[in-house]
Structure 1
Amino acid sequence: MLASKTLEIVCRLVLTGILLTLSTALFAETKHYSVTAPDGVTIAVQETGNADGHPVIFLHGLFGSHLNWEAQVSRPELQHYRLITYDLRGHGLSSKPSSAEAYSDGRRWADDLAAVIEALDVHDPVLVGWSLGAAVITNYLAAYGDDKIAGAMYVGGVIELHPDQIASHPEVYRDLSSPDLRTRLDAERSFLSLCFEIQPDIVTFQRLLANAALASPEMQTAVPSMTISAAEGLGAARKPILLLYGARDALVRPEPSIARAVALNSLIRSTLYAESGHAPFLEEADRFNLDLAAFVDAVTQL
């Protein structure tokens, strides 16, 4: 009996050791980098996953940071990819220049992405851009072409800052530029609530709200006038591009956005999540991660 009990304990210890080893291998430690953009802005970059896996670069949206992508970079189904996130200029831990031109000039956001790709020696990445992040990808395509990427996924993506594509919330957008701190913070909370049809848990929402509070006031004021070179970017792209929207998006109108993108480039494909709002990668994370993995695998086999 004693020998049997001892054997059971030893087996449990061995199994625990195996699980710990697998867990360590599966979830790589996050690496942090600082990349300098051509205009001197410092970009905070993070990397996890398999360093030898195919690279995926995630670009968050307005008022976000790399923390937006925790449901992707922390999930086991994506750990075999090289997972790279970064904080857009004016957001998170990246520099926050005070000039309006630093945000209204879309080429500068494109240059940030190009600098990240070069500094981390990334080859043929799949770009995943949420909302404003999709507009950054478009400007990157316009400035640098698509020779150095494998494909792109736009999630709730801003195609153009046109009234027919962007839902009207005049009070919210007005107050986001308010000099009064309480007014601006309340507007950020309202904006964040509009991101979700399926609301996140309270801890996640509070973290995302803190994300928004870190955003540069100068960026908030200038970004509505950001230039987006849609015709030169999306229109000229030949690598696979998938548009993914939540059908209940309260910020970006899916149908006219998809129609405009396809009018620019008939090769573009799209899909709708019927139950999601503006953030399907959080609202239906399990489904999104499977779809992302399928897209990455498909475009990297071309």
Structure 2
Amino acid sequence: MSHIALLTLGATLLGCVLVVMGVHAYTSGRAQRAALIDRLSATGPVEGLARRRRFSGVDRRLRGTALGRRLEVKLATTGLDLTPGEFFVSMLGGVAALWLIAASLLADFFGPVAAVIGLWGANAFLNWQRAKRTEKFINQLPELARILANATQAGLALRTAIGLAAEELEAPAGEELSRVTHRLAVGDSLDDALGEMAERLPSRELVVLVTTLVLSSRAGGAIVGSLRNLTVTLEQRKETRREVRTQLSQVTMTAYVIPVIGVGSLLLVDKVMPGALDRMTGSFVGQAAVLVALGMFVVGFALIRRLSKIDV
């Protein structure tokens, strides 16, 4: 009996020792990870370490497909802190919610239609975020050209001037220039690094700036004078774009009001005559009429947006 008690006591002590060792290893690992994040964050944001990523399994499988790779590239241009898996799962959840809401408020026929609109809306949201980030970057281009001109006039090399601008400017210009400096640090050429930035944020102003920097690095010349002239030009284009956007704000709002009026009219009809949408979409003729009407709303929206889009 005493032998069994000694074995039990020894096993208990061994278990306690293992638990203490495991807790110590866990806490020390978390402390080392936190110290690593702090040390890496001191030099810039590190993707994947800022927060715990969700849906890692979906993200891993999605990255292996062509759709996942395209989605990853588009998310990188938007500046959103999302992985392809997170965005894909969120998109599916939103589409399912739109399907249920449309089927419950309108009719069962409008569920798939709302799902298709939700898929289009997700892609439009990414395009809007990309355009918004590009517009913000364009507004920072005059300050970027001014910093590069001052740095090169002070005798700094162009690569050093780009690194200085990355530290001085806020996002998105600071983030994009940081990527350029990182690529230059690993041995990429200035043409490739700046060209990749121009592909991520396509705009005429950025193409002009990149072309000026590349030609100056290749053939030399008065880069300071070119950058100062470019700064004045970019400032003028910035003011012109702002005036054009202000003048077209009413037209842009009209493009978004028209689809809202269409959906509101459907809700009003169903409110005045309960069950009218179910009876209307219960036949092929009614479904075809609804699809034609929705198509006309989409065409009207696209035409108004196209007419209000003026390249400056």
Query: By the TM > 0.5 criterion, same fold?
Result: no
The two structures have a TM-score, normalised by structure 2, of: 0.28
Task: Answer 1 or 2: higher relative contact order, Cα 8 Å, separation at least 6.
Answer: 1
The two structures have a TM-score, normalised by structure 1, of: 0.29
